[in-house]
């Protein structure tokens, strides 16, 4: 068989990258609503337990420098485990959003999810990372760009 014919056959067998369909990006309003839902379902109960069960009251919690850090750390660990295992938190599941790898569309690892959470905290603190989606076609936040992840809409 001639080389040219073999080359044409190999071109026909390779999938065309333009035909690979990317899932739809999650809407900005759904991302915000999912974040608020996660705050109420995960973070507020953690703070309540730390404040009233562990510390004994709000005055002790407010006087402590380490208690808020522990609350955020526990939330970050729970958030990372949920993203690693399911790709969704309760809020993201309610609004049919999934966090996946940008190229493979598979769930991300625990360390990548935790790093994503840490970068989110930093970018939200300086507010620059929260402005990114308004200037990007794919609506990615800064922590999604750094961690090479994407939030997509999925079917339940």
- Higher-scoring residue by pLDDT: 4, 87: 87
Q: Please report whether residue 16 resides in a domain.
A: no
Q: Please report whether residue 76 resides in a domain.
A: yes
Q: Please report whether residue 4 resides in a domain.
A: no
Quick check: helix, strand or coil at residue 99?
strand
Q: The pTM is what?
A: 0.82
Task: Give the residue-averaged pLDDT of 48-53.
Answer: 94
Per-residue pLDDT of 80-136, as tens digits, reads 999 999 999 999 999 999 999 999 899 999 999 999 999 999 998 888 888 888 888
Quick check: helix, strand or coil at residue 25?
strand
Structural domain of 115: 24-153
- Number of domains making up the chain: 1
List phi, psi (to 5°) of 106. Answer: -110, 165
């Amino acid at each position: 068989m001639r080389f040219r014919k073999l080359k044409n056959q190999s071109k026909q067998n390779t999938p065309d990258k333009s035909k690979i369909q990317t899932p739809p990006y999650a809407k900005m309003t759904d991302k915000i609503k999912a974040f608020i839902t996660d705050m109420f379902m995960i973070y507020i109960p953690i703070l309540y337990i730390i404040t009233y069960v562990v510390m004994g009251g709000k005055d002790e919690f407010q006087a402590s420098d380490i208690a808020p850090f522990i609350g955020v750390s526990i939330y970050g660990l729970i958030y990372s485990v949920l993203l690693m295992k399911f790709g969704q938190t309760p809020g993201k599941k309610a609004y049919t959003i999934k966090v996946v790898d940008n190229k493979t569309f598979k769930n991300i690892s625990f360390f990548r999810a935790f790093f994503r959470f840490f970068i989110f905290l930093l970018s939200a603190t300086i507010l620059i990372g929260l402005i990114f989606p308004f200037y990007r076609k794919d609506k990615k936040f800064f922590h999604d760009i750094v961690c090479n992840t994407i939030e997509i809409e999925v079917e339940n």
